[in-house]
Amino acid sequence: IDRFALAGRLQVSDLAIRRGSGAEAGNTLIQLKDNNQVLAVVVGVSPNRITRADFVLG
């Protein structure tokens, strides 16, 4: 089972998990809420499949 490690002060509540569009259609983007910076692209996974349980504090 894969997990996403959050470094420093980053919390799950700081993230937006969104469906990709255009070149990223069919993928999920994990972005910072405050500036939309993309932290990860999860290929072939729907956003509703990624939950709080998929993240660990690093």
With beta carbons less than 8 A apart as the criterion, state whether 28 and 50 touch.
yes
Greater confidence, 58 or 43? 43
What is the Cα 9 distance to its own chain's centre? 16
In sequence order, which residues have a C-beta less than 8 Å from that of residue 5 and are 6 or more positions away? 55, 56, 57, 58
Q: Are strands 28-32 and 38-42 parallel, antiparallel or unpaired?
A: antiparallel
pLDDT band at 58 (very low <50, low <70, confident <90, very high): confident
Rounded to an integer, the average pLDDT of 47-54 is: 97
Per-residue pLDDT tens for 1-31?
A: 689 999 999 999 999 999 999 999 999 999 9
